[in-house]
C-alpha cells in the first residue's frame, strides 16, 4: 500500500509537463538537478536554527537590549486565589459581568478585586518586553542576511532582469550551488518558525501566521520538487526585502525610540506595498501564470503552485490592510498601535487616563506601541 501511495504521489503528470519524466532530470554531463531527498537536511537544520537562535538571544540580543535601555514595566502579580485561578485556566480569561459577580461571592472578594485580579493575571501571561525585543532582533538579523544573500544569488542572473528567462529550457535547468544553499537555509528557517510558533509572541493574526508558514514551506518545497527554482529564488528575495525593516522598527519601538521607529515603519510600509501588492502580483505571478503556457500545456503542478501563490497574496492583502490602517494613524497624529497585538492592561483609572492622554510610556517617554490591542 505504501508503495502504491508513493507511486501516485510521485506520478510524473502531477509534477512535470507532458512528455517529460524524472529520468530527464537525472544528473548527467556535469549538470545537477534538484531532488526531493535534498530537503531531508532542512529538518535537522531547523533544529540547529533553534539552537543558534537561543544562543543569539542570550548572548547578543539581551546585551543589545541593555545597551538600548529596553526596560520592563513593573507588573503587579495577582494574589494567589484557587477559585479565580481555576476559572481563569478552565473557563475563560475574560469573564463576563455575571461571571465576575458569581466569582465575587465564591471567592469572598469584591467585584472590583475580582476584576483587578483578572487584569493582573492576564498581564502575567503576556510576553515581556525583553522577549519581544529578542525575538525581533533574531528575525531582523536573519531576514537582513537572507535578503543580502538572496540578492547575491540572483542579481547576476539573466532572469532577474528578464522574467521570460525564468522558463527558458524548463524543466531542464541545472541547479547552482548558490541556489541549493539559499533554498536549504530559507526552508530550514521557516521550519524553525513553525516549530517555535507556540512559544513565540502570539498576536491576533496567529492563525494567519500559521497559514503563512505552512504555505511558504509548501511553496518552497514544491518549487524545489518541480524545478521551479528560478522563480522560487525571486519570490524568496522579494519577501525578505521588507521583513527586516518591520523587525527593526519593532526593535526601536521596544527601545522607546519613537521617531526612529515611525520613520522605519513608513519605509517598511512603502516597500511592503510596492513589493507585495505591485511587483509580486503584476510581475512575478504574471510570470508564473502566463509565461509557462507559451512552453507547455497547464498541468497539476502549474495549478497547485499558482494556487499557493494566491493564498500568499491573500495574506499580503490582509496585512496590507492593517498596515494602511496604521499609516492613517500616522497621518492623523494618533498613537499608533500594532493592530495584531495584545494590550497591556492597567490597574487603575489614573493609569488609563495617562495612557489615553499621552500614549504608552516607556522610561518616562511616550512610545509607538506595537504590541497592544485597541480594546480591552
Q: What is the DSSP string of 227-253?
A: T-HHHHHHHHHHHHHHHHHHHHHHHHH
CA angle 39, 183, 3 (to 5 degrees): 25
How many structural domains compose the chain?
2
Q: How confident is the model at residue 359, as a pLDDT? A: 41
CB–CB of 203/60 below 8 Å?
no
Higher pLDDT, 76 or 113: 113
Of the chain, the end-to-end C-alpha distance in Å amounts to 54
Residues 95 and 239 in one domain: no
Question: Among residues 290, 288, 298, which one has the least CA distance to residue 17?
Answer: 298
The whole domain housing 100 covers 82-125
In a domain, 229, yes or no: yes
Residue 294 located in a structural domain: yes
Q: Residue 308: which residues within 8 A CB-CB, separation 6 or more? A: 215, 218, 219, 222
- pLDDT tens-digit series, residues 18-47: 777 787 778 877 788 888 889 999 999 999
pLDDT at 329 over 80: no
pLDDT of residue 191: 95
Judged by average pLDDT, the poorest of 118-122, 138-142, 147-151 is 118-122
pLDDT of residue 119: 86
Same domain, 137 and 45: yes
| pLDDT in the model for residue 118 | 85
Q: Are residues 190 and 247 in the same domain?
A: yes
Conformation bin of residue 108: beta by default, left when phi > 0, alpha when psi is -120 to 50? left
What would the pLDDT profile of 196-207 be if each residue is shown by its tens digit? 988 887 777 678
Q: Are residues 263 and 297 in the same domain?
A: yes
C-beta of residue 279 within 8 angstroms of C-beta of residue 158: no
Q: What value does the CA radius of gyration of the chain take, rounded to a whole number of Å?
A: 25
Q: Are 114 and 195 part of one and the same domain?
A: no
Amino acid at each position: 500500500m505504501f508503495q502504491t501511495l508513493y507511486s501516485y504521489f510521485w506520478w510524473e503528470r502531477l509534477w512535470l509537463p507532458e512528455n517529460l519524466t524524472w529520468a530527464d532530470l537525472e544528473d548527467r554531463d556535469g549538470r545537477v538537478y534538484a531532488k526531493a531527498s535534498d530537503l531531508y537536511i532542512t529538518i535537522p537544520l531547523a533544529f540547529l536554527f533553534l539552537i543558534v537562535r537561543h544562543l543569539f538571544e542570550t548572548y547578543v540580543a539581551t546585551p543589545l537590549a541593555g545597551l538600548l535601555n529596553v526596560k520592563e514595566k513593573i507588573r503587579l502579580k495577582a494574589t494567589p486565589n484557587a477559585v479565580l485561578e481555576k476559572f481563569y485556566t478552565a473557563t475563560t480569561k475574560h469573564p463576563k459581568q455575571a461571571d465576575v459577580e458569581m466569582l465575587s461571592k465564591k471567592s469572598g472578594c469584591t467585584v472590583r478585586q475580582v476584576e483587578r485580579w483578572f487584569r493582573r493575571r492576564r498581564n502575567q501571561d503576556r510576553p515581556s518586553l525583553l522577549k519581544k525585543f529578542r525575538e525581533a532582533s533574531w528575525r531582523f538579523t536573519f531576514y537582513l542576511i537572507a535578503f543580502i544573500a538572496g540578492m547575491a544569488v540572483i542579481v547576476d542572473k539573466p532572469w532577474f532582469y528578464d522574467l521570460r528567462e525564468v522558463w527558458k529550457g524548463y524543466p531542464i535547468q541545472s541547479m547552482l550551488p548558490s541556489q541549493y544553499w539559499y533554498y536549504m537555509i530559507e526552508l530550514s528557517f521557516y521550519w524553525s518558525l513553525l516549530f517555535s510558533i507556540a512559544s513565540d509572541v502570539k498576536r491576533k493574526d496567529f492563525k494567519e501566521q500559521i497559514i503563512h508558514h505552512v504555505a511558504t514551506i509548501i511553496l518552497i518545497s514544491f518549487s524545489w520538487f518541480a524545478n521551479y527554482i528560478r522563480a522560487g529564488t525571486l519570490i524568496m528575495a522579494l519577501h525578505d526585502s521588507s521583513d527586516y525593516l518591520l523587525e527593526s522598527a519593532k526593535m526601536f519601538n521596544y527601545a522607546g525610540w519613537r521617531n526612529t521607529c515611525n520613520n522605519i515603519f513608513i519605509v517598511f510600509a512603502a516597500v511592503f506595498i510596492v513589493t507585495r501588492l505591485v511587483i509580486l502580483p503584476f510581475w512575478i505571478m504574471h510570470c508564473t501564470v502566463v509565461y509557462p503556457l507559451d512552453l507547455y500545456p497547464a498541468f497539476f503542478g502549474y495549478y497547485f503552485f499558482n494556487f499557493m501563490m494566491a493564498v500568499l497574496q491573500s495574506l499580503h492583502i490582509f496585512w496590507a490592510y492593517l498596515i494602511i490602517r496604521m499609516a492613517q494613524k500616522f497621518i492623523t497624529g494618533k498613537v499608533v498601535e500594532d493592530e495584531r497585538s495584545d494590550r497591556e492592561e492597567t490597574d487603575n483609572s489614573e493609569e488609563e487616563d495617562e495612557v489615553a492622554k499621552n500614549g504608552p510610556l516607556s522610561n518616562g517617554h511616550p512610545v509607538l506601541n506595537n504590541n497592544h490591542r485597541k480594546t480591552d
